Chains A and B, each alone.
Chain A
Amino acid sequence: MAAPKKPPLPVILMANDLIDGEVVFRTATGWSSEPREALIAGNAQAADALEAEGIAEMSRNKVVDAYLVDVVLGENGPQPRHFRERLRTLGPSIRPDLGKQAQSVIEPRGVPHVSL
């Protein structure tokens, strides 16, 4: 099987915490549930290093399903380009009271509600 295509830069590393399943972001020192604390890899070398850390952390049984996610950088920190990953940084769009968006520091953004 061909190696999966690398996402465009810059990237962050996202995963789910093993014990509680929460979406977590790789930081300079460990894992955080806050996307704004994510370590940003802006070049191929840094991205490879981040990816390698993800694999190592999975084998250390800290997280599951770690993979690189391409982001745009804004004033609130990195924001995934793809709507699926953006939803993972927020929570269900239909329940603003749940998920990361429900915690005070993160404003729901980027994935508009379907308002008709």
Chain B
Amino acid sequence: MDAAARARLLNDYQRDFPLTSQPFLQIAAALGTQESQVLEELRGLMVEGVLCRVGAVVRPNSIGASTLAAMAVPPERLETVAAQVSAHAEVNHNYEREHRLNLWFVVTAADRARIDAVLRAIEAETGIAPLDLPLQREYRIDLGFDLS
């Protein structure tokens, strides 16, 4: 697949993915290529790390509950504490950030009680109380990211 078709694949199909029995065939027709080429390209882009996935972006808390949590971890303990946090299956994003609050993670669970239990467990394991920063309002609907 040439660079122009690859760029269109990444930019033009971030939303309104075809809901037809063979969506990759429809994309291939639009890009002037073959279904097998589109599938191969997508697999390759995932292997390269350019593509996270082909899938859905879900409204926060549409199923279950979630929160953003932050911890101020002494730098020399960061690796250990980050591993303790990541070990929880309910933690699905965990980032190091340049700040006194240097560890930021998202906790997602079936309900709010489970989130409270995970935050308490992390505090008990690490001795550091996570700040609990649940979403109160969302001011932007995520429609994709213009790469052009």
- Do the two chains bind? no
A residues apposed to B, CB below 8 Å:
none
B residues apposed to A, CB below 8 Å:
none
